[in-house]
Each structure stands twice: as structure tokens, then as C-alpha cells.
Structure 1
Amino acid sequence: MKKIYLVLILSVLSIFNAMAQNASSDKILGIWMSQEKDGKIEIYKSDNKYFGKLIWGKTMYEADGSTSKKDVKNKDEKLRSRNLKDLLMLKNFKYNDGVWDNGEIYDPYSGKTYSCTMKISDGKLNIRGYIGISLLGRTAIWERAK
């Protein structure tokens, strides 16, 4: 009988731990304004991974104001015809102890993709894009969109 109670207590504790982890990991969800204030990126979760898509940008539409510009700087010629509107910029991030890592960030201005980690500090999102090791990179700070 004691074993059953122990198993029940451990099960309940593991459920609370998983709920707390999900609450922490989901703090990143929502709409963020880029450091340069020229783009809004919506971060969402799918299959326990985090992704971000460009939902607004100062230069994402043609002169008519409604036609989305294309991803013309992409290194992959097959992807140059995709729209900048809803372009997937952040992909495959996993949450681990306060950091979203093992993901990639795509820069539509250069057409390059970088390894990336993200962390929330003082309510701001610190995004570090890099090549190879994190020391060889740059950090941008995004704020929640209002």
C-alpha cells in the first residue's frame, strides 16, 4: 500500500514539474519587435519546438502596399519566389533550462541562415545568431510588440 501512495505522489509531482516547465518554456510565445523596429515576428510552438514567422515588416510589401515582396536574397534559388509575409525566420528551437537553443535564424536581408540561441532577460528576448560557435556571432535584442 505504501508503494502505491509513493507512486501516486511521484506521479503528481512529475505532472506539476512538467506544467512548470511548460509555463517557463512558453514565455517566449507571442509577437516580438526586432531590434531595428523594422519587423514583427510571431513566435509559436509546434510539436514541442518553437518557430517564428515574419508577420509585419517596413519593407515587406511592394509599392502598392499589398503585394508581398519575395525572398530574393535567399541562397537557394528555389526559395526566392516565396513571400516575405509569414516567412519562417526562426525554426526548430528546443527549450532547455531557460534557453531556447538548437535552432536556426534566417536573415532575409542577407539570405543567410545562422545557428541560434534565445533567452529572455528583463522581459526582452536576446537572440544570438552565430556560425560554428556562439563566440563567433552577434546578439540582437527584441522587445514584445505592443
Structure 2
Amino acid sequence: MKIIISFLIFFCIGFKTANSDAIIGQWENPDGTRRIEIFKGEKAYLGKVVWLKVKEPKAKPGDIVLDDFQFQDSYWNGKITLPGESHIFNAELRLQSRDRLEIKVFYHNMSRKKVWKRIP
């Protein structure tokens, strides 16, 4: 019985860890004009701009736009920063599928969602 319980605990912990890393990779916005790379930092998940279709005065590759995202059950909570501005918003990341990432940004009592696609 102890072996079965140990196996179940190990399986559940391993499964949760694997799910938490599922957002790691490159993602493209719905317009196809911007790509970010989500990676695991020391304490949280971060995202930086890696490609822009058109040069933007406020955004450039290397800018950190996703900060302090923590995995909680089936989604990630953190902050989104608009490049070149001091606006910081609460946000959620949810995987709709392996290749579809819903980014939901909150502003006061309103929210806005966009679905980004994974870049292979």
C-alpha cells in the first residue's frame, strides 16, 4: 500500500511540474506582428519580446513584458508591462491547447483576452 501511495504522490507532483512548464516557448500575437518568448526564471515565469514585424518606438527585442507569473492549478497569474511605459496590469495565462495561449489582462473591473499561437 505504501508503494502505491508513494507512486501516486510522485506521479501527481511530476504531473503538476510538467504542466507548469507548458507555456515555455515562443508565442505570436493574433496580428502576427509580435513574438514573445516565455521562459522560467529563478522564482517565476517571464516573457520577453523576441521579434517585431515593424519597428516600434516603445518596444524592442529583449524588453521584458511578462513578469512574475506563478502557476496555480491550471493557469498562471502575473503582471504585464507595456513596453516603454509605466503601465503594469494584472494578467492570467491559460493554455487552450498545446499551441494556443489565452492572455487575459485586467484593468479595474474590465478585462480583455487575446489568443496567441505557439511558434514551433
Please classify the TM superposition score into its range, dividing by the shorter chain length.
0.7 to 0.9
Q: How many equivalent pairs are there?
A: 119
Deviation at 1:97, TM superposition (A): 1.6
Deviation at 1:118, TM superposition (A): 0.8
The answer to whether 1:140 aligns with 2:108 is: no
Unmatched tracts of structure 2, length 5 or more: none
Please name the residue that 2:103 is paired with.
Answer: 127
Unmatched tracts of structure 1, length 5 or more: 62-68, 72-82
| Preserved CA contact (<8 Å) 1:60 1:85 | no
Aligned alpha-carbon RMSD (Å): 2.3
Runs of 4+ in 1 over 3 A off after TM superposition: 8-12
Please name the residue that 1:41 is paired with.
Answer: 36
Percent identity among equivalent residues?
Answer: 26
Deviation at 1:85, TM superposition (A): 1.6
The answer to whether 1:105 aligns with 2:80 is: yes
Please name the residue that 1:20 is paired with.
Answer: 15
Q: Distance in 2 between matches of 1:143 and 1:49?
A: 21
> 1 or 2, which has the higher helix percentage?
1
For the pair shown, which has the larger CA radius of gyration, 1 or 2?
A: 1
For the residue of structure 2 that corresponds to 1:28, the secondary structure is coil
The answer to whether 1:95 aligns with 2:90 is: no
> 1 or 2, which has the higher strand percentage?
2
Deviation at 1:9, TM superposition (A): 4.7
Deviations 1:62-84 (A, max 9, x none): xxxxxxx6x4xxxxxxxxxxx72
Deviation at 1:15, TM superposition (A): 2.1
| Cα distance change of structure 1 residues 107 and 36 upon mapping to structure 2, 3 Å threshold | farther
The answer to whether 1:59 aligns with 2:27 is: no
For the residue of structure 2 that corresponds to 1:47, the secondary structure is coil
| Preserved CA contact (<8 Å) 1:40 1:55 | yes
Q: TM-score, normalised by structure 1?
A: 0.70
